[in-house]
């Protein structure tokens, strides 16, 4: 189920999360169809609406580097509930892929899904 390289990168980047309000540190590792890996962590703000999730940070980093075809993402938190992407992240992910594999882990316990399963009726303009 898990790609060890993506899992380790998501776990490592979660340590960089800026989460002074929730103390919920999330890491995401994204593999492009070209095999490149991009990571992201959540960054909170005291004005909560300005907070950005790990998943979107990884995607935005990839886009800024010219990559927009994605294959797989792993989302990681150290403990607690399995971290499923929020609605905003699901919509952003679905913009770039209808079938991307998404694995979500709390420690070593995880589940696998796809963006199609997580957001069956995405918004299209």
The residues carrying an active-site annotation are 55
What residues have CB less than 8 Å from 72, skipping those under 6 apart?
3, 6, 30, 31, 100, 101, 102, 103
Q: What is the C-alpha separation between 49 and 31, in angstroms, rounded?
A: 27
Residue reference for tokens 């540190």: 25
Contact criterion met (CB below 8 Å) for 100 and 73: yes
């Amino acid at each position: 189920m898990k790609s060890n390289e993506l899992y380790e990168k998501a776990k490592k980047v979660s340590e960089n999360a800026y989460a002074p309000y929730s103390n919920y540190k999330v890491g995401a590792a994204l593999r492009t169809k070209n095999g490149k890996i991009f990571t992201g962590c959540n960054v909170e703000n005291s004005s909560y609406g300005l907070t950005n999730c790990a998943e979107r940070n990884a995607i935005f980093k990839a886009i800024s580097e010219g990559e927009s075809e994605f294959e797989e993402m792993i989302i990681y938190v150290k403990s607690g509930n399995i971290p499923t992407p929020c609605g905003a992240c699901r919509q952003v992910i679905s913009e770039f892929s209808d079938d991307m594999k998404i694995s979500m882990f709390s420690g070593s316990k995880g589940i696998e899904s796809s963006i199609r399963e997580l957001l069956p009726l995405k918004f299209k303009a």
